Amino acid sequence: MDRLTELFASKPTSYTGLGLAYVGDTRGNAVVSAEQVLEVIPRASAGDGGAGRAPLSVSSSGTVKPGLVAGFMPTIDGTQLDATPAPSLSLPSSGTRYVVLEIDVDWTTVESVYIAVPVVTAVRITLNATAPTPANLLTSNGQFKVWLATAVDGVVTAQYLTGYVSVQVIDSGDGTARGQLYLIT
C-alpha cells in the first residue's frame, strides 16, 4: 500500500478538498483523484436499514416512493417523503406536467473564477409546467433541476430517473465559477 493510500484509508467515504477528491471503492481501497472534483456526496448504503434503501420512484398516480438523494430525504411542499401521512403530487387531470427533482447546493467562489466546497442544502420534488433541460445541470446560483418523470392527463407516463441517487458537483472548469451537477445512480 503506498503512502497516499495509507493516509486516506481511515477516512470516511467522502472527502472534500480543493483539487483533491477521495472516494472509497467497493473493495475498501482508496481511490484518489487530483482532478477538479470538489465534492463527492455518497449515496445511502444498501445496509443502512432505513429509508435510504428504497429507490426513489414515482408511481403512475403521482405518489413518490421515498429514497435518499445525496443523503437527503426529498420533500414535497416542505414535507419529507417518509413522513406519515406521506405527501404526494397533485397531478392535474388534463395537460402535461413534469416531475422535477430540485437540488440546492451552496459553495464558496474562489476569485470569481472557481467554485469550492459545494454542499447540498436541500432536495425537493416539484411539479412544473416546463421540462428541465441539460442547461439546468450547469449553474452559477447552485440551483439544479433534474427531470424525474412526465405526467399526461393525470397519469405518470414516463420516468427518466429511478433508483438510488447520489450527486457529484464539480467546477465547470471554464473560469466562470459555475457548478456542474452529475447524477450517480
Encode pLDDT of 142-161 as tens digits.
999 999 999 999 999 988 88
Encode pLDDT of 36-49 as tens digits.
333 334 333 333 33
Place of cell 466562470: 176
pTM of the model: 0.71
Q: What is the DSSP letter of 77?
A: T
Q: Would you say 65 and 47 are in contact if contact means Cβ atoms under 8 Å apart? A: no
Q: Compute the Cα dihedral for 7, 13, 16, 18 and give only its sign.
A: positive
Q: Would you say 99 and 150 are in contact if contact means Cβ atoms under 8 Å apart? A: yes
Encode pLDDT of 115-148 as tens digits.
999 999 999 999 999 999 999 999 999 999 999 9
Encode pLDDT of 61-112 as tens digits.
888 988 888 888 999 999 999 999 989 999 999 999 999 999 999 999 999 9
Q: Would you say 44 and 92 are in contact if contact means Cβ atoms under 8 Å apart? A: no
